[in-house]
Amino acid sequence: MAKSRSAASQPQPNKAVSQTDAPGCEIPLVHLENVRQVQPEVLATAKAQRMAEFFSALSDPHRLKLLSALAHQELCVCDLAAAVNMGESAVSHQLRVLRSQRLVKYRRQGRNVCYSLADDHIMTLYREVADHLDEE
């Protein structure tokens, strides 16, 4: 026998907006001039996909910890693993993801491989997000 949803779980058409709902237009009216101004600036689908992949690489807390360490200085893999309290194998795996999105770069120094942030854009992005989250 199929379970019926209770009246409390049914959507309410005139329900007050909760804090989790995004406010919207009460009357749907498209302002064509605004749309025409913005449309040429909207990301192309291919670029939006690349950006989504880029941000996806930043969506893991372990990778962000690695970036936070590298924001201070270049580190070899073993020092990086010790700094973020992870195994070298796990760090190498995460660094591979970060390298694939050009967030970090590496250089060989004898038998060690040293990593650093790829460029100033990555440093700026990291600092801006960190500063934003520190705002009250």
Domain ranges of the chain: 46-134
Per-residue pLDDT tens, the chain, 136 aa: give them: 444 444 444 444 545 545 678 888 888 888 899 989 999 999 999 999 999 999 999 999 999 999 999 999 999 999 999 999 999 999 999 999 999 999 999 999 999 999 999 999 999 999 999 999 999 7
Contact 97, 57 (CB under 8 A): yes
The string of DSSP codes covering 110-134 is TTEEEEEESSHHHHHHHHHHHHHHH
Yes or no: domain 46-134 corresponds to CATH 1.10.10.10 = yes
What per-residue confidence (pLDDT) applies to 9? 44
What per-residue confidence (pLDDT) applies to 72? 95
What per-residue confidence (pLDDT) applies to 21? 82
Residues 6+ apart with CB under 8 A from 65: 84, 86
Among 60, 78, 71, residue whose Cα is nearest residue 116: 71
Confidence (pTM): 0.75
CB atoms within 10 A of CB 15: 8
